[in-house]
Structure 1
Amino acid sequence: MLYRVEGIVIRSMDYGEGNKIITICTENAGKVGVLVRGAKKVKSRHAALTQLFTTAEYVFFRNGTGLGTLNAGEIMQSHHVLREDIVLAAFASYACELLDRVLQDEETGSFWFQQLKACLDALEDGKDPAVIINLYEMKILQTAGYGPELSSCISCGMDISPQEERYWVSPRLGGVLCRACKHLDSQAMGISPRTMKLLRLFAQLDLRRLGHVDVKEETKAELKAVMRAFMDMQLGLNLKSRGFLDQMEKYGL
């Protein structure tokens, strides 16, 4: 059967002497693997279609649910800016690998295509990559069924006062704890009202609606620590791209 879909390349790997296999997140056909013959050849007309982060219209033949074979394609957004900047490339790679590892083929679709597209566009537009990725991680957690409970105590269900000077969040239990219940997790993280406000905003916000967000460095650090703890505790993924991000931070890139 012949498919014509709009998709974003989230993984690209060499196959044989001159071919490549790409994984694309599509708007209407889920997550699809496509063989691109001759893509590694110097004069290949399809080479550009196999680059990470590329958004294009792909025409491919697929028999059943197996690997497709590319017939033609037309680039809509190359996102070459992301590939040419090591920092942006690292964040964009993390976004793609996270989507690829967390969501099954049948779980991808229009929503996730739009969220990933919005993430890549925001990175290319110069918005704060750390904030963008934390928002993206929140969407991933929610879609995977691990979205944190941030309005009421995860243990007793009591509403959390918006006037608190400090909030206690338990990544292990999956949400915020009231003062009376914070003893239930000795590793609960104390966070500022500013960080809690952003977490609650992220839980409600669609990436496509993200405007300019100016976040103080101390709040960003706290936000990163909380989201990292949620990702590790709830998903437990070992991602190469996140390891590279950590190395960049270690060396001040």
Structure 2
Amino acid sequence: MLQKIEGIVIRASSYGETNKIVTIFTREKGKLAFMARGAKKPNSRLSAVTQPFTHGSFLVRFGSGLGTMQQGEMLTSMRHIREDLIMSAYAAYMAELLDKSVEEKRANPYVYELLEQTFHYLNEGYDAEILTHIFEMKMLQVIGLRPELSSCVNCGSQEGRFAFSIRENGLLCHRCFGIDPYLLQLSTAALKLLRLFYFFDLHRLGKINVKEETKKEIRMAISLYYDEYSGIYLKSRRFLEQIEKMQLIFDQKEDDD
């Protein structure tokens, strides 16, 4: 029986010389995988709609095993993401993080809205790194991780100076710093943004303007936290780190000139 579904392509892999296995994340049915026969052929009607990050409407047939994709209609091409190497790298990282974090055929409208809105902002040219960090912070609760970001994880205080403790899973106030000798002494701006990214409504995102030093702090804290607790290894992370290093070298050369 044929059904129409709407979703976003989060992964497409080759199967044989002409076919693809396409993984789509949908609002109603969660993560689904389909065989798209002939999709690798340039003149195939499935070629464009099976590109990664495409938001589309798909006519599919479910089976006892892998379903098949019959037709597809592009709703949003996300063309600007695919045409930009750096944007594509960030999008691939977020798609892989989602792929590794959710089970198949389990609906999660919250995650669907998060992915769709994040890709929409990315396609419009918003800061790719900050969007990725927002996505990472909001995916924590999906994975089952809940750092304490509202008060001191040890004494409950909401006043004073704070640092971020990976080991204690949240903030520590200055009175409790001695509990963790390895806590991260992040700037006030970085701590504020970590808290904001975790709690705020993404639809209310305005202009993004974050200093490079603050970005570096946020990147370090999130990376260390994921390494400690998530158990998720992402191939796209290594490629993204290489691009970030190249971008840093390029920016430094521009400053020198």
TM range (shorter): over 0.9
Structure 1 equivalent of residue 87 of structure 2: 88
Structure 1 equivalent of residue 15 of structure 2: 15
1:247 aligns with 2:242: yes
Structure 2 equivalent of residue 233 of structure 1: 228
Moved more, 48-57 or 123-132: 123-132
Give the conservation status (yes or no) of the 8 Å contact 1:136–1:207.
no
Separation in structure 2 between the aligned mates of residue 107 and residue 194 of structure 1, nearest angstrom: 37
Separation in structure 1 between the aligned mates of residue 207 and residue 246 of structure 2, nearest angstrom: 27
Structure 2 equivalent of residue 119 of structure 1: 118
Separation in structure 2 between the aligned mates of residue 169 and residue 87 of structure 1, nearest angstrom: 29
Separation in structure 2 between the aligned mates of residue 3 and residue 172 of structure 1, nearest angstrom: 47
Separation in structure 2 between the aligned mates of residue 114 and residue 239 of structure 1, nearest angstrom: 22
Structure 2 equivalent of residue 159 of structure 1: 157
1:234 maps to amino acid: Y
Unmatched runs of 5 consecutive residues or more in structure 2 = 251-257
1:78 maps to amino acid: S
Q: Determine helix, strand or coil for the equivalent of 2:49.
A: helix
Q: TM-score, normalised by structure 2?
A: 0.91
Structure 2 equivalent of residue 44 of structure 1: 44
Post-superposition Cα deviations, 1:201-236, rounded to whole Å, max 9, x if no partner, equal 112113232221211221111111111111111113
Post-superposition Cα deviations, 1:155-205, rounded to whole Å, max 9, x if no partner, equal 33x2221x53xx211123210112233222221101121112111211211
Separation in structure 2 between the aligned mates of residue 50 and residue 122 of structure 1, nearest angstrom: 21
Unmatched runs of 5 consecutive residues or more in structure 1 = none
Q: TM-score, normalised by structure 1?
A: 0.92
Pair 2,159 (structure 1): closer, same or farther in 2 beyond 3 Å: farther
Separation in structure 1 between the aligned mates of residue 148 and residue 209 of structure 2, nearest angstrom: 25
Give the conservation status (yes or no) of the 8 Å contact 1:5–1:59.
yes
1:58 maps to amino acid: F
Percent of counterpart pairs with the same letter? 41
Structure 2 equivalent of residue 186 of structure 1: 181
TM-align CA RMSD = 1.5
Give the conservation status (yes or no) of the 8 Å contact 2:79–2:123.
no
Structure 1 equivalent of residue 103 of structure 2: 104
Separation in structure 2 between the aligned mates of residue 127 and residue 153 of structure 1, nearest angstrom: 32
Q: Determine helix, strand or coil for the equivalent of 1:41.
A: coil
1:210 aligns with 2:205: yes
Give the conservation status (yes or no) of the 8 Å contact 1:7–1:25.
yes
Give the conservation status (yes or no) of the 8 Å contact 1:155–1:181.
yes
Post-superposition Cα deviations, 1:126-152, rounded to whole Å, max 9, x if no partner, equal 111111111100111122121211112
Separation in structure 2 between the aligned mates of residue 231 and residue 28 of structure 1, nearest angstrom: 28
Post-superposition Cα deviations, 1:55-98, rounded to whole Å, max 9, x if no partner, equal 0001101124x321012111001112111110000000001000
Q: Determine helix, strand or coil for the equivalent of 2:5.
A: strand
Q: Determine helix, strand or coil for the equivalent of 2:138.
A: helix
CA positional deviation for 1:106: 4.5
